[in-house]
Chain A
Amino acid sequence: MPDYVETINLCRTFGKKKELVKALDEVSISIKEGEIFGLLGPNGAGKTTLIKILTTLLLPTRGEAYVADFNVVKEADRVRKIINLVSGGETPGYGILSVKENLWFFSQLYGLPSSVAKERSKRLMADLDFEQYANTRMSKLSTGYKQRMSLARGLLSDPKILFLDEPTLGLDVLTAKKLRNYVIDWAKRERKGTVLLTTHYMIEADEMCDRVAIISNGKILACDSPQVLKEDLRRTPIAKIEVSSIQIDFSFIEKVKGIIGYSETRNIQTGVTHLRVMVDDRRVFAEIESKLTEAKLKVLSVNETEPTLEDVYIRLVGKGFEEAEEKAHA
């Protein structure tokens, strides 16, 4: 299959000389037609910047990008005819208009005859389970239904390439799953469309994507199918350690010899921190446990676990998403 989306040494910087921020650093990716491709990385990794360049909303500082062989800078008008973009956390439209009216309006941006637009809106509303809200004002919809409407808006124009920027951001588990399944169905069975998805949810990348590029600080660190990326870690011991404290700084465990990387998730409600630790030898787990005990922390459990895409990230960066985001904000 030919490359449908391609970037060549794409760079994008923001700010002026003294405070120059590299949002994208020599990014080269290629996406095949009909593929669901994921960009996985923490907030601030450069995912949205890349999607904005590919959807003609932002100019690259250097490098080239093509969508269906059209240059996104020089042939932006041709690119726009075959793409659509759905961003999580944003609900384009007019609150005072009903869902049905909003969808009709957006269909006109792509020149759809009204009869076709109405028929497609009706089908999408039924498929995404919100046809009962067709006549409800958009301002009265819940976040989940607003996002269903956004996805319907993105699919109305029947794009060849759908760009999804954090499409399930802030949604409940069921709605997120519903939207994910629908996109998979659309891409694989119904439309056979190409999807570029950005996310920082591992499960989303794992469930949806044929291939995933892991991005950090504007650089692509790895790119392959989720299975292959995880397969590389099969022989690396990974454990989930539960510690009964959310107050302490766990960075002291980095000093333990043999540790490859770790991530931590603090649960304020239960007062428990979940450490995910990757080591080069199983025996290191015992040493980590003793270090935690020395620090007067109660270790609730230590369980070895299967690798996830976050472990791939930890392996590459040495830290989990949350730590990377904290470091980026510091």
Chain B
Amino acid sequence: MLDDLVRNLRVAYARLWVRVKGGNREPEWLIFDMFLPIFTLSAYVYLYKMLGVGAEFAGFVVIGGTMLAFWTNVLWNMSAQFYWEKETGTLEAYLVAPISRMAILLGMALGGFVNTTLRAVAILTVGSLIFQVPIALNEPFTALLIFFLTIAALYSLGMLFASLFLLYGREAWHTASLLQEPVQFISGSFYPVRYLPTLLQLLASLVPLTFGLDGIRRTAISGEGIAQVWPHVIALIVFTLILLPLAKLALNFMENLGKKEGRLTLRWQ
């Protein structure tokens, strides 16, 4: 039992290490990832300036851009990872090893988080300085709590998607493409969700990123505290508590289905 736990912790650390080492080995990518998103942010900030809607909107945009880095990482570098690992035969090596698949996913999530944090901090710092974002951070711990709960919920969602990619590689690839922009739109990445029609707001409440973005903006830009954002905290905890076990169930289900149908290690499917 203890042996299994130690082995799985080693696996999670090793997978994290691979991700961090691999992700930062070619520094030019780091530069692209850090600075290219600033162009998208600039477009929105200048649009809001032109409309004269107030300086806090620049803050909304910068925080939205920062958190989008995590969403993109979850969608492409977390969910899609098993697809690539199936292609190279690495997935087969995982499946033959005496390890929990969740340990691999945990390592991928933590590694992805570390890598993306480097990029996100750069976006946040550069964006805040360039656009003179007005910060009103009265409860930094509340803001951090919401940030980490958002990350936990997002990467739990990533683990769930990864289990889908385990079996439905190419189809899930398209699903990821389909999710990218709609989630970006619905979660209010570059504007407050309250401006969306009610029906879309309801839909937005199914996405953890919506609560995360709104909570961080309220605590970092609008100066609100736990008294105002406690529903966000609860919503994000509930998301994580649902998504994480669901990911484990889906992973087991997909692995068994793959073994039954013989599609687990077949490439190009």
Residues on A lying within 8 angstroms of B by beta carbon are: 12, 14, 49, 52, 55-59, 77, 80-81, 83-85, 87, 90-94, 96-97, 101, 104-106, 108-111, 153, 157
Contacts and interface: CB of A to CB of B under 8 A. Distances in A.
Given A91-B89, A96-B22, A105 B97 contact: no
B3 A111 contact: yes
A265 to B, nearest CB: 29
Nearest to B260: A59
Contacts of B259: 56-59
A92 B26 contact: no
Contact of B98 (A104, A105, A110, A153): A110
B26 A87 contact: no
Interface stretch (B7-15, B175-183, B208-216): B7-15
Interface in B1-51: 3, 6-7, 10-11, 13-15, 17-18, 21-22, 25-26
Interface in B88-133: 88-90, 92-99
A109 B93 contact: yes
Contact of A14 (B21, B94, B98, B262): B262
B79 interface: no
B25 A96 contact: yes
Contacts of A81: 98
Given A96-B25, A111-B10, A153 B88 contact: no
Chain B contact residues (Cβ within 8 angstroms of A): what range?
A: 20 to 34
B97 A57 contact: no
B78 interface: no
Residue from B7, B15, B262 with most neighbouring chain A CB atoms (10 Å)? B262
Residue from B10, B11, B99, B256 with most neighbouring chain A CB atoms (10 Å)? B10
Interface of B is mostly: helix
Interface in B39-94: 88-90, 92-94
Contacts of A157: 97
A144 B252 CA distance: 35
A64 B97 CA distance: 21
A5 B203 CA distance: 54
B92 A87 contact: yes
Contacts of A111: 3, 6-7, 10-11
A156 to B, nearest CB: 11
A5 to B, nearest CB: 15
A175 B88 CA distance: 21
Contacts of A94: 18, 22, 90
Contact of B22 (A55, A56, A97): A97
A14 B93 CA distance: 23
Contact of A85 (B3, B13, B92): B92
Given A90-B88, A96-B26, A110-B7, A57 B95 contact: yes
Interface string B198-232: 00000000000000000000000000000000000
Contact of B97 (A49, A80, A90): A80
Contacts of A55: 96
A80 B96 contact: yes
B18 A97 contact: yes
B266 to A, nearest CB: 10
Contacts of A56: 95-96, 259
30 contacts: A49-B262, A52-B265, A57-B259, A57-B264, A58-B262, A80-B97, A81-B98, A85-B92, A87-B92, A90-B88, A90-B89, A92-B89, A92-B93, A94-B90, A97-B18, A97-B21, A97-B22, A97-B25, A106-B93, A108-B10, A108-B13, A109-B93, A109-B94, A109-B97, A109-B98, A109-B99, A110-B97, A110-B98, A111-B10, A157-B97
